[in-house]
Amino acid sequence: MTVRDAQKRIAAEVSKWDGVEAGPHRFGGTEFRVGKRELGHVHGDQQVDVVFPMPVRNSLVEGRRAEPHHILPESGWVTFRINKETDVAEAIELFRDSYEEARKRSSTDTQK
């Protein structure tokens, strides 16, 4: 099952955030970046793949907010499937979490 216009709504929200650039993803869908860091990408109205540091990724998987990435299950990537209307807001929240992580890491990179 998919949620109509999920990709469009996710892209509209995530693209508003300071420093986020949206563009085509190499495997289809829309990719979001802050500088050189990819936050994740959305594949149609079905799923999002979002990247995190491993401790955060593990917490998300353990808390059942996301599942291990469908292709790279041992990486920092998670997959979140969009099955119902409320999943759109949850997908946006995962992108927000990744965005905050990227901004934290960016600020520590510039302090070195």
Work out the pLDDT band at 86, boundaries 50, 70, 90: very high
What integer is the mean pLDDT of 83-88? 97
The token duo for 94 is: 């995962």
Q: Is residue 40 part of a domain?
A: yes
Structural domain of residue 85, as residue ranges?
6-106
Work out the pLDDT band at 106, boundaries 50, 70, 90: confident
Q: Is residue 53 part of a domain?
A: yes
Q: Is residue 21 part of a domain?
A: yes
Q: Inform me whether the pLDDT recorded for 103 exceeds 90.
A: no
Q: pLDDT digit string (tens) for 25-64?
A: 888 789 999 988 999 999 999 999 999 999 999 999 999 9
What is the pTM for the complete model shown? Answer: 0.91
Q: Is residue 64 part of a domain?
A: yes
Rounded mean pLDDT of the chain?
A: 92
Output the domain CATH number for residue 11.
3.30.1460
Look-up of token digits 């907010």: 65
- Measured CA to CA, the distance from residue 49 to residue 41 in angstroms comes to 5
Number of structural domains found in the chain: 1
Q: Is residue 46 part of a domain?
A: yes
Q: Is residue 15 part of a domain?
A: yes
What integer is the mean pLDDT of 14-19? 96
The token duo for 84 is: 């119902």
Q: Please, which residues have CB within 8 angstroms of residue 23's CB and are 6 or more apart in sequence?
A: 30, 31, 33
